[in-house]
Every structure is written in C-alpha cells, then in structure tokens.
Chains A and B, each alone.
Chain A
Amino acid sequence: MDALISQYIDPYYLRILMLIGINIILALGLNLITGVTGQLSMGHAGFMSIGAYTSAILSMQMGSPFFLSLLAGAMVAAFFGFLIGIPTLRLEGDYLAMVTIGFAEIIRVFFLNFEPGGKAVGLSGIPQNTTFVLVWTLVIIIIILNAKLLSSRIGRAFYAIRENEIAAEASGINSTRLKVLAFTAGSFLAGLGGGLYAHYMYFIRPQDFAFMKSIELLNMVVLGGMGSIPGTILGSVILTLLPEMLRIVAEYRLLFYGALLVILMIFRPNGLLGDVRVYDIKKKLQGKKVGLWQSSN
C-alpha cells in the first residue's frame, strides 16, 4: 500500500500530507486540554519531545520494535502530563500558561544536556518507520475515539469545566480529576505525535520542540475552533500548508502566529468552526427560505 502511494504521489506532497497527519494528532491532543477543557497550555511541544526522544532512543539504542517504541513514547509523555497536571491544574489562565511554558523549556534544556539524546546536535539515523498508511490510520482512529469521547459523559464534563467550573462542580464533577485526565490524554497524543515525527524525520534536535512549535500547535486549535474536532483538523491543515506555500509566512513565523492569534481573539474568539453547528446552519437556512417566500408575496 505504502509502496503504491509513494509511486503515485509526488514526494513533496507526500511529505506535506505526512506532516498534516502528524500535526492533526498533536493538535487534537492540545484541543482536549485547551479547546475542550479550557486549560491554556503553551508547552505542548515539550510533551511531544518526550515522546520523540523516548521512542527514538528505544528504537536506536535498545533495538525495540517500532510499535513498542511509539507506545512507550506516548505513555512516558502521558505520565509526565499526569505528574505536571496534578500541581499545576489548580492554577488558572495566565499562571497555567506560564507554568506550561516553563515546563517545556526545562524539558528542552534537559535534552540539550542529555548524553543519550545527542545533546544539542540531536539524534540522527532514527529508523524511518513512520509510513503514510500508519499515520493516516492513526489519524482516523484518533478522530473516531475523540468524537466518541467528546459526546460522552466525560467529554461533556470537560466542556462543562471550560464553560463554568463552579456550576460543573455543583453537578458532581470533580474538576481537578478531570482536568488532570484531559491533560494526561492530551499529553499521550503529543507523545504519540512526537514518536511518529521522530521516526519520519530521521533526525531530531531539541530546538525542533521549542516554544515556537508549542505556539504553532496552539494556533491550530485556536484558528480552527476551540473544542471542535473538525475545527482542529482544519486549523492543522491550514497552518501546515501556509508556511509551505508562502515563503513569507515561513520567514516571519513568530510575527505571523502572533498576529493571527490577536486577529482571532478580536474577530472570532471561538475560531473558524468553534461554535458552528449543523443545527444552527439548518435553522438559518430555513429562516432565509421563509424570508424569501414572504418577500415574493
């Protein structure tokens, strides 16, 4: 299957499709934390790097099979998400954002000095096991599981915490526990995305997972729509394609991401699709039809 695909799709487009898939996985993880549960995390790339390094080191130095490396990377990232989540998720808004930035920086500095990770030079020669079929199979599975989760009792509780924490608690929701759960699940996906990334790129360095990467992922969630799965996918696609297509965006990334966030906060704080529902569109269309019919009479 993969052989077939690489025969028919141009390597340049194939690469973009791979990156889109990996970014969707990463962004869906962040969407659980920030979009759905409303806990602003600006250090998602830190958890991604834990997954990337853990899985790469396991594959290269312990000879572990690829799937085991991937899973281990995701689990270790989830474990750190859990550990960090317990003390920090009591913090609100800006404080939580700062702590997550700090945590991601600590991880980066750790890998800068980590002998088995090749320090500043990074790791190269990671087996290129991540295939197109694997990435997109995982994307589909993760989208389905995400959709099921978000329409369930636990998913609704996540949204309720974002919407009104006091009212959520009065409904019997243990907000501390559920925030840690969202953070752990989101970090798992970050670690999984990191592992896929490492085994696709062949080569990773600490700076691949710096603050800029966290902001890029945050932008995908915010642009597409906080808490919306289609929105997050749309955001990931747009923000993976844009820097590829417009050199200017790639060169002024920081400026671009900053401006994008500010513009969204002013004009569409819920993102492109964050509060768009089929029900409302239908209602609007029906309303229009009635309007036309009336005016023609």
Chain B
Amino acid sequence: MAVLQLEEITMEFGGLRALDLVDIKVEEQQIYGIIGPNGAGKTTLFNIITGIYLPTGGKVIFKDCLLNKMHPWDVARQGIGRTFQNIRLFNKLSVLDNVRVGSHGVSKSGFFGSMLGLPSSRREEKMIVEKAEHLLELVGLGEKKLEYADNLAYGEQRRLEIARAMALNPSLLLLDEPAAGMNSTEKVELMDLIWKIRNEMQLTIILVEHDMNLVMNICEQIAVLDYGRKIADGPPEVVKNDERVIQSYLGAEA
C-alpha cells in the first residue's frame, strides 16, 4: 500500500499549466527523488501536497485520506513535514525555539494552560524541549541552540529546517533542494543524515534535488518532471538510461 498517492494532479496559474496530469506513488519508507529542470513544477507539487495550493485537478491521497482542500496546518497534523527551497526560518527566534515551534502540531497546551503554567502544560513543555535538543544534536546544531536562526550559516539553516520539520514526528518528510548552497563535505554529511533519519525514525522521504550524484546515490525511486509533465519514473538505473530523460535533462547538463 502506497503512503502517498498523487493521481492526475494538474495545476494552472492563470494560463500557465505548471503541472499536467502527474501521477506519483510513494511506498512506505522509501526515499523518493523528484528531479527536473528549473520551473518543471517540483516545488508546486510540494505546495499542493502540503495544502498551500489547491490543485486545479486530481487527488492527493495520504494513507487513505484525501488531502485536497485541507488547510496547511491540518496537513501538517496528519504527519507531513517539509522544508522550503527558499529557506523559511523564524529568524528572530532562537535555534531551539525554531525546533520547539515545529512541535506545535503534535502538542496540545492551550492558552490558559500555558499562561497559568498548569502541570500538564509544564510536562508537555519539558518533553518538547528534550525532543528539540535531541533533534538539534542529530543535525549537528546542538552548540548553536541559543543563537538567533538568522545568525546561522546557510548550510546550518538548511539543517535547522530539517530538525524543525522532524519535530512534527512526521511519517512523510518533504525536502525541497536540501543540498542547495552546500559544499561537497556538507553534502556528504547531508546524505548520511537523510539515511539516518529514514532508518532510525522509519519514515518516508521525498526529495527534490538538483545534485544528480546525491539523488542517484540516495533515492530508491525517482520521478522526472519536465514542463509540468512526468516524463519518466523508476529506480535510478532505469531513469539514468531513459532516452527522454537524457534528452531533456541529463543530456542538457553534460
């Protein structure tokens, strides 16, 4: 049974068809790659899955549940975490607080409970902090937890976004170009991190990435988008040798 199933997803912006009848099926605990040239519609696909855009047509089904028309916060509470291509951190909050906010969807303390410091709120808060600190260690930002998020280097900010998304205890994690702007050492570390997250926390990961080396190494299944259409999918070896993919994408880079 697929964790996430996209059926004939179509998205139009005015006259522009950014996605055209895209079908994608992601299995439990897969690392699934989505590649394609700039403007192919990869980020738009993430925005549709997470409820930021309402698709013009098609269905988003997550664990038997139809996500179309759900608010972004409800999608998040279903267990879908994400990062953003153009980094979106809470700049004037500390690194630790950024991750603590990530727990919002899976915690409960309300207005009065928080304000009055009721025991249940305090207990929950303690767990939120412990989880946040653990996640920061995992992504290697434990030392920086009191810095403002906007004081971090670029690569660190990308890792902080991953930690924040993980605070939601997601069963599906969407990473939009997580290696963009990283140097090659950072990229290797990132690959390790993605592997580790998947294996230790048993979740499914969808990855949009331009670095072919990274994608081919880490993904078990890949879909290729071009001008809003899916032109190929399959395991890396298959996609790598696909005529159309070489023509429209891989060939262009070589």
Interface, chain A (partner B; CB < 8 A):
145, 148-149, 152-157, 159-160, 163-164, 166-175, 181, 185, 227, 270, 275, 279-280
On whether the beta carbons of A174 and B73 are closer than 8 Å, the reply is yes
> Which one, B89, B92, B100, B116, contacts A275 given CB within 8 A?
B92
Interface stretch (choices B7-15, B32-40, B103-111, B232-240):
B103-111
- A170 adjacent to B106 (CB under 8 Å): no
Which has the most chain B C-beta neighbours within 10 Å: A145, A164, A172, A227? A172
Pair B73/A163 contact, Cβ less than 8 Å:
no
Residues of B within 8 A of A156 (CB): 93, 97, 100-101, 104
Most buried by A among B76, B106, B109: B76
Say yes or no: is B102 at the interface (Cβ < 8 Å to chain A).
yes
Within 8 Å by CB of B111, from A163, A169, A181, lies A181
A35 to chain B, nearest CB (A): 11
| 8 interchain residue pairs of minimum CB distance | A172-B105, A152-B114, A163-B90, A167-B88, A169-B72, A172-B76, A149-B115, A160-B101
Would A172 and B168 count as touching, CB distance under 8 A?
yes
Whether the pair A164, B73 counts as a contact (CB closer than 8 A) is no
From B72, B76, B77, B114, give the contact of A153 (CB < 8 A).
B114
Chain B contributes a number of interface residues (CB within 8 A of A) equal to 43
List 29 contacting pairs A-B, 8 Å CB cutoff, sorted by A. A148-B115, A148-B117, A149-B111, A152-B114, A153-B114, A154-B110, A156-B101, A157-B104, A163-B90, A163-B92, A164-B89, A166-B72, A167-B90, A167-B164, A168-B104, A169-B52, A170-B84, A170-B165, A171-B105, A171-B164, A172-B77, A172-B105, A173-B73, A173-B104, A185-B111, A227-B92, A279-B94, A279-B146, A280-B148
B124 within 8 A of A: yes
Task: Select from chain B the residue with minimum beta-carbon distance to A182.
Answer: B111
Which residues on the A side are within 8 Å of B92 (C-beta)?
159, 163, 227, 270, 275
Q: Does B17 contact A (CB under 8 A)?
A: no
Residues of B within 8 A of A153 (CB): 100, 103-104, 107, 109, 114, 121, 124-125, 128
